[in-house]
Every structure is written in C-alpha cells, then in structure tokens.
C-alpha cells in the first residue's frame, strides 16, 4: 500500500514539474511576443527615430 502511494506521489510530482515547465515556456513566448510588439509600436508611432 505504501509503495502504491509513493508511486502515485512521484507521478503527481512529475506532473507538477511538467506543468511548471510548460507555463515557463508559454510565459517566455509571451514575453518575446510583447517585446516584438513594443518594438513594432515604437517604429510605427515614431518613424523619425529610425
């Protein structure tokens, strides 16, 4: 019974790690997109600066 519990706990821990890694990669993609968007907005709004 205890072995079964530890196996389930390992699976749960693995899922937690995977979901946090997934969140991290999505967050990084979002940040990269927002940086590109800010650059684009600066170019469009302020063409004289280029």
The pLDDT tens digits of the residues spanning 12-42 come to 777 776 777 777 888 999 999 999 999 999 9
Task: With respect to residue 5, please indicate whether it lies within any of the assigned structural domains.
Answer: no
Task: With respect to residue 26, please indicate whether it lies within any of the assigned structural domains.
Answer: yes
Task: With respect to residue 22, please indicate whether it lies within any of the assigned structural domains.
Answer: yes
Domain of residue 45 covers 12-49
DSSP strands (E only) in the chain: none
The DSSP code for 49 is: G
Contact criterion met (CB below 8 Å) for 23 and 16: no
- Tell me, what's the pLDDT at 48? 76
| pLDDT(47) > 80 | no
Q: How far apart are CA 13 and CA 49, in angstroms?
A: 50
Contact criterion met (CB below 8 Å) for 31 and 24: no
**Lookup: tokens for 30:** 């979002």
Task: With respect to residue 16, please indicate whether it lies within any of the assigned structural domains.
Answer: yes
Task: With respect to residue 1, please indicate whether it lies within any of the assigned structural domains.
Answer: no
- Tell me, what's the pLDDT at 35? 94
Task: With respect to residue 24, please indicate whether it lies within any of the assigned structural domains.
Answer: yes
- Global pTM reads 0.51
Count of structural domains, the chain = 1
**Lookup: tokens for 38:** 């800010």
Task: With respect to residue 3, please indicate whether it lies within any of the assigned structural domains.
Answer: no
- Tell me, what's the pLDDT at 32? 94
């Amino acid at each position: 019974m205890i072995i079964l519990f530890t196996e389930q706990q390992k699976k749960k821990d693995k899922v937690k790690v995977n979901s946090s890694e997934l969140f991290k990669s999505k967050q990084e993609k979002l940040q990269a997109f927002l940086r590109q968007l800010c650059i684009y907005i600066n170019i469009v709004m302020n063409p004289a600066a280029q």
